[in-house]
Structure 1
């Protein structure tokens, strides 16, 4: 697109970025992730602003070059310059959503969604609506549909500390059998207290796709002999 952007075109690009980024942010906030609707919308609007500013700089340079050909070798307008700064700069914001605690990494998908929202904003700001619309559809499919269609089995470790060895181990074994949980490996540890013993088993397990690790941890925690049930990511 050449020439100055009209106020109508500016509003359309802003509105489109708000809608697209808002939908993606809603998905993240609904799933209780660090960055929600407002963060995603702000990232999208910021990217649109920078892209439109870059467009205006380029259009201004082209106009001057046409009106004053003698300055053609002096004027430079690189459309990728500000865009490159957005792509690299958004990484710092995304890194702030990633949390690592006790071998568990959270926030990677949210960081990636912020990065892609910046890409959507840049596409909208540059006036590449077809790229933005196809990109938005792809992002929403990945965030909302892909996990339901493709379930990648993962191995995790469940650390279970309990009392009364025999009855509790029987309960755990029966629960795993009932829920079709496959045990790949088990590590054992015993700690003595003044009046009792605490048994700690670390199970490496694979769950059926209809069962979540959160459900397993909650179910096991309900048993009266349990001292601690903890999920460990491998």
Structure 2
């Protein structure tokens, strides 16, 4: 009797899923793939650690977990004293995605990179949950806003930086004391203001290590960045200067 009831319950549940929700579940999972892929394509074009496939998988997995929360326990919610909470399982995605996002954050010296990609993974997981819950309008609108932020606002930021005469220099120097102080002193003599300093990858040339120093600089209106670059190349211990 017990076995017959179990088989009957499973058959009833499968019939319900295939007849009333099969198409809806398919649409939600496919939409999660599309929306996650759109954001992943933008990240992939920039050759970032989490790209096209990663964003698809995060969005698809989040949508599936939400669907499990909604449809996965239909055979027990009608029992006495059983209360269903679809948000309970899905809520674990919000905290769990943080571990995946942390893997995209890279620290090079004093520079931290990958925060935007980690944030995009977190948002994509939210989009997947929205799609799985059937909140299509919110998922599509959020995807559009994310792409607007990653693409158009990035261009606007670049334009704004150029208008403020902000430029970036990468100075490769021999790794020895006093190099940064000499560079800062020269820039100060020409009225250039240092906005940000990043010390990154150590390169070895022969038996002397060298360090890349990335400088975000504000140039005065009457000062040519190319002229300053030439003066930096004349400093002792400077191996190369690149103007970005």
TM-score, normalised with respect to structure 2: 0.63
Aligned ranges 1:116-195 → 2 under 5 Å: 116-150=123-157, 151=160, 159=171, 161=173, 183-184=192-193
What secondary structure sits across from 2:217 in the alignment?
strand
Change (3 A) 1:51 1:140: same
Deviation at 1:10, TM superposition (A): 1.4
Change (3 A) 1:138 1:32: same
1:45 and 2:60 aligned: yes
- Asked if structure 1 preserves the Cα contact closer than 8 Å seen for 2:169 and 2:241, the reply is no
- Asked if structure 2 preserves the Cα contact closer than 8 Å seen for 1:183 and 1:203, the reply is no
Aligned ranges 1:16-95 → 2 under 5 Å: 16-57=31-72, 59-60=74-75, 64=78, 71=80, 74-95=81-102
Change (3 A) 1:19 1:95: same
Moved more, 130-139 or 90-99: 130-139
CA distance in 2, matches of 1:204, 1:14: 44
What secondary structure sits across from 2:192 in the alignment?
strand
The residue that corresponds to 2:3 in the other structure is none
The residue that corresponds to 2:113 in the other structure is 106
Deviation at 1:160, TM superposition (A): 5.9
Unpaired runs of 5+ residues, structure 2, are: 1-15, 175-182, 196-212
Aligned residues: 185
Q: 1:96 aligns with which of 103, 107, 111?
A: 103
Unpaired runs of 5+ residues, structure 1, are: 66-70, 163-168, 187-200, 209-214
